[in-house]
Each structure stands twice: as C-alpha cells, then as structure tokens.
C-alpha cells in the first residue's frame, strides 16, 4: 500500500470512520475513473484545486465526476476576481498531492488551514461518496455522514454549493460556460 493511502486509512481507522477500499489500475482522467467506477459503490467525485491569485486564497472544490464545474458561478460565490488552477508546486506544498490524485483527503495535510473546502450538492446529497486516498491507484468509499465527520475532524467543514452542470449543458446565449476539467 502506498504511504499516502496508508496515512488516510490509518486516520480513518483511528477515528473509527468506516470505509471501503478498492485497488485498481492508475487513473489520470475522469474518463478513466468512470470505467473503474462502474464496479464501485457510492457516487464518484472529482476535485479541483483552485486559487484566487489576487488574494492568495485556495479552494478545494469537489463535485460528482459526471458533471463539469461552472467556474464562473463558483468565482462569483467566493467573490474572486479571477480563479485558476493552483500550480503543481502549490498543490504539493499545501496538500502533499500531485495532479491526478487531488482529493478531499488531501485536507489531512493542510495543517495551516490555507484551503477552503467546497462540496457541490451533486455529492452532498449522495448517500455515499468515493474519492482517491491521495493516490490514483485506489478509491475509498464512505457514507456521507462519515465523510462529513472526516471533514469536521480535519477542521475543514464543507461549504455546500450548486455549481455542477451537465457536460452537454449550455448557459445563456447558446455559449458553453467556462469550466475547468478535472485535475
């Protein structure tokens, strides 16, 4: 087992948070994970690590993997002038993650609480959620209440938002909304 996965699973066990663990080949895209997800319980999520470059604020945004994020709407919700992906160096320094393994479990590593966590209702309303344990060769499935308990324990409560849009959705004037694909 990879050390990053072991750290997450150890934390969950120490706090008596039940989970199911599934090993699988490495996945790098939402499309790759959808092939694996067919055989797993829970609603699969994708997570974006964003920053407001003007105010140096960081956001971890999770939504169901079948949707795109309406970044313009999210930007307005957090009152940011401009949002962008955080650099891989920032991702490593703050959450000890690499692109392709971005997950809410990375909040375990944000001891300085630099990151705000936002959970789209597409996942907040799911009975069970599924995320990588900070490595893309496994998936952990937790019941919603257990996932929320994890967030409380790492002092990163979820801010519930409604920013998921269908892949085929358009917003206003027939234009596709600006969105950022999964990391």
The mean pLDDT of the chain is 86
pLDDT at 176 over 90: no
Strands (E) in 105-169, as ranges, are: 115-120, 128-131, 138-143, 159-161, 164-166
Q: Residue ranges of the domains in the chain?
A: 43-166
Query: How far is it, in rounded angstroms, from Cα 154 to Cα 140?
Result: 17
Give the residue-averaged pLDDT of 125-134: 94
pLDDT band at 167 (very low <50, low <70, confident <90, very high): low
SS3 116: strand
Q: Which residues contact 38 (CB under 8 A, 6 or more apart)?
A: none
**φ, ψ at 72 (rounded to 5°):** -60, -45
Helical segments of the chain, H only: 3-14, 30-37, 71-77, 88-95, 121-124, 144-153
Superfamily of domain 43-166: YbaK/aminoacyl-tRNA synthetase-associated domain (3.90.960.10)
Q: What is the pLDDT of residue 106?
A: 96
| pLDDT tens, position by position, 14-25 | 999 999 999 888
Percentage of the residues of the chain whose pLDDT score is greater than 70: 85
| pLDDT tens, position by position, 95-120 | 999 888 899 999 999 989 999 999 99
Tokens found for residue 109? 């590593």
Tell me how crowded residue 72 is: count the other CB atoms within 10 A of its CB.
14
Q: What is the DSSP string of 58-85?
A: EEEEEEETTEEE-HHHHHHHTT-S-EEE
- The vertex-42 CA angle with 71 and 29, nearest 5°, equals 50
User: For 21-51, b where at least 16 C-beta lie within 10 A, e where not — what string?
Assistant: ebebeebeebeebeeebeebebbbbbbbbbb
């Amino acid at each position: 087992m990879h050390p990053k996965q072991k750290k997450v699973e150890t934390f969950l066990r120490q706090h008596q948070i039940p989970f199911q663990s599934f090993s699988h080949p490495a996945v790098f895209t939402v499309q790759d994970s959808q092939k694996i997800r067919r055989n797993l319980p829970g609603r699969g999520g994708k997570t974006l690590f964003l920053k407001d470059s003007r105010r140096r604020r960081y956001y971890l945004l999770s939504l169901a993997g079948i949707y795109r994020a309406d970044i313009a709407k999210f930007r307005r919700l957090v009152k940011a002038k401009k949002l962008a992906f955080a650099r891989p160096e920032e991702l490593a320094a703050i959450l000890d993650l690499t692109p392709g393994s971005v997950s809410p479990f990375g909040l375990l590593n944000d001891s300085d609480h630099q990151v705000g966590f936002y959970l789209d209702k597409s996942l907040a309303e799911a009975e069970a959620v599924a995320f990588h344990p900070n490595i893309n060769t496994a998936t952990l499935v937790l019941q919603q209440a257990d996932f929320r308990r994890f967030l409380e324990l790492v002092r990163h409560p979820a801010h519930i938002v409604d920013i998921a849009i269908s892949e085929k959705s358009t917003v206003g004037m027939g234009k596709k909304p600006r969105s950022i694909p999964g990391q």
